[in-house]
Amino acid sequence: MSNSAPRAPRRLYKGWAPYLFFAPFLLLTAVFTIYPLINAIILAFQQTNGPASRVFVGLDNFRYVLTDPTFYKALGNTTTYAFFSVFLQLPLALGLALLLNTEKSRAKGFFRLILFSPNLVGQIFVGILFGVLFTPRYGLINRGVQLLIGWGLNEQWLGNPALVMPAIVITGLWMWVGFNMIYFLAALQSVDKTLLEAARIDGANPFQVFWNVTLPSIRHVVVFVVVTSIIGSYQLFELPLALLPVTEGKGPDNSGLTVIMYLYDQGFSAGDLGLGSAVGWIVAAIIFFLSLVQIRIAQLTD
Amino acid sequence: MRATRGIEDFPYGKAPFWLMLGALGSLLLLVWVQLGQNANRPDLVLELSAPNHVIAYRTVAERFEREHGVKVALQLVNPRALTTRLQNSLLAGTEVPDLAELPIDAMRYFGRGPLQDIGFVDLTERLATQGYRARLVEARLSPWSKSGHIFALPHDVHPVMLAYRADLVEALGIDVEKLQTWDDFVAVGQRVTADLDGDGSIDRFMIDLPSGGSQGLSIVMLQRGLSLFDEHDNVTFNQPLTVDTIIWYLHQNYGEHRIAFDCGWGQPLAKAMADGLVLFYIQPDWRTHVTEMEAPKVAGKMKLMPLPAWEPGGRRTAVWGGSGLAITKRGKNPELAWQFAQELYFTRSELGKRFLDTNIIPALKDAWDLPELNQPNAFFSGQRLGSLYANLASQVPPLWSNPYTIIAEGKINEVLLRALEHYKVQGDRGLKEFVAQELDEAEAYIHRQIDRNVLSKPASSEQQAAARP
């Protein structure tokens, strides 16, 4: 009797213990995730002047955004960047990964570091660096292009609306190719070597081996990289901001404006958090839809 | 030994014990840091974004601390943070500095909502009763005004002149005294802009102008008396003179008779100056100091001249940039902040020293006779910089603040670039009509933005009051 008495409260405590230890996480999630999420939904239906004044405007914010030509310009620019991320950046990353995946390559580690290193310095640094490289007359890229094709010495890459997006794509390429290459390289190293060998014995050429054996083996990684690239592209913000400082990241004629920058401008620069919130929900819906399509395509090709 | 047994006896095990201890420790540390911060808070906090201003204000702050027995902190903050974050802090009720030196476009953030939402002390009355208003350049109060109320003290005037490579200009036989109007300037520019080595690329340009419009277009428009908005927040840019100015700007930057090149900023600009790629540069007073710092190779080779006028006898300057000192309503001691603001902006001896450090002439007119402003400047070939800029200061146009200024500037630049596309295909044929139509559309876009803002409409004030938390 005397032995069993202290065990009862201990069992009671043990019953509460999981909830007690779970409580800080739940509290933080409620304060920093669930509350902002609910508030963001409410905000999207209000017009605000910062956090002080709020007026309910119904669907006006969504109506405004969906009829604003600047939003479509931003969406077009971001989609262009996303397109080149998927169809230029990723094939290049995969190609480099295939090159580095050969067993003969002695300098594999060195090249892996070199190609990955742009990612270590951050988007602001890369943006500022390329801002200098694209300088008319004196920039390395201007001089290089002039040397190669006899054009472009005085060209304003960052001042000409037609050249701003190519400049951002080139900069993004330098920044992200190595990063995505690491994913592909890791996937390639896990491809079953006996399958590759069997294909070669059966007379498959290198392209057939890649198309019929390697690519299907790494398809889940490909889907993952494509989805994260699309999401990353639609979140593009710092890179154009650092590359185009004079126009605060927008470029001439809004040629470098991205959807997140549009959101930032409306929500924080103009102070209408309601409108910014509405843009945020629209962007989230677009990303969700694109990711869904991508995953569905991957499932269909399974 | 006893302690170890205690931990083992903890009902949920050892790991949860350490987790709880860690959480408790973090909490105590947080409370301690917070209490320490509150205890060490200075009596006055001034946030500003210009590094050279921090250096210039340090001696005033130290003297003020001694004389008043208080602690003053000068905090350097990124301009973007200074405006957007400060605005949100003011409105959200979180901690704010006592004073903030704001960039010229700041009122677009702070003036978007109703007048009572502006988080700064209204200085209109103080400036009038203490006699400062008459001593300041009136046009420089415009960026800090809303509906007739002034919310910051102007730090500067920032008249614009042209800096030029005097050695090259003289060698080319150009007499700057004869460049009285932009027509004179362009005529000479078309003569000297040339491909010197025959490689197909122009190697010498007359003037540095941003190709996308930006400040360059804004300056020539302001010089011509074209503002984006007036003091009553009316859109004023859509007029025939703007059409003419945009086409003029386009002709200087593009086509076979171009005379302008966009040198950009920093090193490329300094190299263009040193190489003589461009002869003339737009130069407000603050930029002369930047030029001295970044282009030491052209020291002694540069000179300044007023902007050529749009018509004979017309305005010879414009305005570019600026900052103003505002006192926050929710600051700890607004009266002490006002005293410090006066020390910073209206102490003559300090203004002279500050000019030597920054080349910026003050907005206080009676400081323009200070000996420091009349000293010869070796970098600019012995010219008296302060006097040159002060002589033009009275011509500086107003720069009315408006929440839609940035959008309007963007739209004007868009019109320029669309006009360029038209020009590339059709030349000058139909260009005037095209630009006029684009300006109509730009104005309509801005009106759409303004009409959407229910918070600043007087008619909706009751609705606003009801909506206020």
What's the pLDDT tens digit per position in B52-105? 888 889 999 999 999 999 999 999 998 878 887 888 788 778 889 999 999 998
To the nearest whole percent, how much of chain B has pLDDT over 70? 95
- What is the rounded average pLDDT of the residues A88-103? 90
CA separation for the pair B327, B355 (Å, rounded): 24
Indicate whether B263 and B186 sit together in one domain: yes
pLDDT tops 90 at residue B129? yes
Q: What local confidence, expressed as pLDDT, does residue A293 receive?
A: 87
pLDDT band at A14 (very low <50, low <70, confident <90, very high): low
Classified as helix, coil or strand, B122 is: coil
Of B280, B282, B35, B101, the closest CA to residue B176 belongs to B280
Q: How many angstroms away from the CA of B83 is the closest CA of chain A? A: 8
Q: What's the CA angle centered on B218, arms B214 and B224, to 5 degrees? A: 155
Q: Determine, yes or no, domain membership for B383.
A: no
Task: List the single residue in B12, B117, B212 with the smallest CB-CB distance to A53.
Answer: B117
What's the pLDDT tens digit per position in B136-148? 999 999 999 998 9
Q: Determine, yes or no, domain membership for B381.
A: no
pLDDT tops 80 at residue B2? no
Residue A270 CB-half CA count within 13 A:
25
Q: What's the CA angle centered on B134, arms B99 and B330, to 5 degrees? A: 20
Of A247, A265, A258, A65, the closest CA to residue A165 belongs to A258
**Residue predicted with more confidence, B272 or B16:** B272
Indicate whether B289 and B343 sit together in one domain: no
A216 and A238 Cβ atoms separated by less than 8 Å: no
Indicate whether B84 and B224 sit together in one domain: no
Indicate whether B183 and B247 sit together in one domain: yes
pLDDT tops 60 at residue A4? no
CA separation for the pair B268, B60 (Å, rounded): 36
Write down the pTM of the prediction: 0.83
pLDDT tops 60 at residue A118? yes
Indicate whether B177 and B280 sit together in one domain: yes
Q: How many CB atoms lie within 10 A of CB B69?
A: 8
Q: What local confidence, expressed as pLDDT, does residue B463 receive?
A: 45
Task: List the single residue in B214, B406, B467 with the smallest CB-CB distance to A53.
Answer: B467
What's the pLDDT tens digit per position in B231-260? 988 999 999 999 999 999 999 999 989 999
Q: What is the ipTM of this complex?
A: 0.75
Place of tokens 């500037």: B409
Q: How many angstroms away from the CA of B221 is the closest CA of chain A? A: 18
Q: What local confidence, expressed as pLDDT, does residue B366 receive?
A: 92
Indicate whether B274 and B168 sit together in one domain: yes
Indicate whether B209 and B299 sit together in one domain: yes
Indicate whether B231 and B330 sit together in one domain: no
Q: What is the Rg, in whole angstroms, of the alpha carbon atoms belonging to chain B?
A: 27
Lowest pLDDT segment from A53-57, A161-165, A177-181, B221-225:
A53-57
Highest averaged pLDDT of the listed ranges A14-23, B29-38, B411-420: B411-420
What's the pLDDT tens digit per position in A249-295? 898 889 999 999 999 888 877 778 899 999 999 999 998 898 888 88
pLDDT tops 60 at residue B108? yes
Q: Determine, yes or no, domain membership for B442.
A: yes
Lowest pLDDT segment from A33-47, B102-116, B174-188:
B102-116
Q: Are the beta carbons of A55 and B406 separated by less than 8 Å?
A: no
CA separation for the pair B416, B256 (Å, rounded): 18
pLDDT tops 90 at residue A107? no
Q: Is A10 on the interface with B (CB under 8 A)?
A: yes
Q: Which of residues 145-164 of A touch B (CB under 8 A)?
A: 146, 150, 153-154, 156, 159-161
Q: Determine, yes or no, domain membership for B420.
A: yes
pLDDT band at B421 (very low <50, low <70, confident <90, very high): very high
Q: Which helix (H) or strand (E) holds A7?
A: helix A7-29
Domain A70-300, classified CATH 1.10.3720.10, yes or no: yes
Report strand pairing: B99-103 vs B44-48. Answer: parallel
Indicate whether B306 and B436 sit together in one domain: yes
CA separation for the pair B110, B122 (Å, rounded): 13
Indicate whether B101 and B123 sit together in one domain: yes
- What is the rounded average pLDDT of the residues B211-240? 92
Q: Determine, yes or no, domain membership for B62.
A: yes
- What is the rounded average pLDDT of the residues B276-285? 97
Q: Rounded to the nearest 5°, which phi and psi values hold at B72?
A: -115, 135
For residue B17, give its domain range.
2-37
For chain A, which residues make up each domain, given as ranges? 70-300
State the greatest distance between any 2 C-alpha atoms of chain A, in Å, as a whole number. 98
Q: Where are the alpha helices (DSSP H) in B226-283?
A: 240-253, 266-275
Q: Determine, yes or no, domain membership for B97.
A: yes
Indicate whether B153 and B168 sit together in one domain: no
Indicate whether B344 and B211 sit together in one domain: no
Classified as helix, coil or strand, B241 is: helix
Task: List the single residue in B12, B212, B454 with the smallest CB-CB distance to A17.
Answer: B12
To the nearest whole percent, how much of chain A has pLDDT over 90? 58
Domains of chain B: total: 3
Supply the CATH number for residue B236's domain.
3.40.190.10
